[in-house]
Amino acid sequence: MSLKQWLDNGWLRRHETSRQEIQEQFEGVAGDIDDASQDLSAAWKFAIAYNAALRLCSIMLYACGYRSSREQKHYRTITSLPLTLGPEAAELTNYLDRCRVKRHEATYEKASIVSLDEAEELITAVNGLKLQVHHWLKANHPDYA
């Protein structure tokens, strides 16, 4: 599939972004990473790190001229990674989708399902994704980098 096909399916909407919007999203990511690194419960660390990952996936969609539609917004935003970063992002996409489910369960059902190790693992993954997004922007959308 392609982002255009996702648009045709109604999973995405057109979105006109700006360098400022992308910068503000990166600032939000940096704040989320800082917050997630504080002395908080594992569930909160995880939820905040997840939010940073979601922002990073959104940045790539924005740069391509899209944003997720409301229905299944988190799922669509995360699973768009292989369409932006490429098929090599499939493993990361699967991991982040599992994090999406776990974050939902921890937020709405049982916070104790998240361990501190899982939260730290997600923070590490988000830091890696942040670097990938920066490189991707420079290579594919230098006006926003």
Instruction: Tell me which amino acid residue 37 is.
Output: S
The structural domain count of the chain equals: 1
Q: Is residue 7 part of a domain?
A: no
Domain that holds residue 69: 17-144
Cα separation, 94 vs 111, in Å, equals 22
Q: Is residue 108 part of a domain?
A: yes
Write down the pLDDT at residue 97.
97
The domain spanning residue 130 has which CATH number? 1.20.120
Q: Is residue 2 part of a domain?
A: no
pLDDT under 50: residue ranges of the chain: none
Identify which of 3, 6, 107, 112 has the alpha carbon closest to the alpha carbon of residue 47. Answer: 107
Global pTM value = 0.95
Cα separation, 132 vs 141, in Å, equals 13
Write down the pLDDT at residue 109.
87
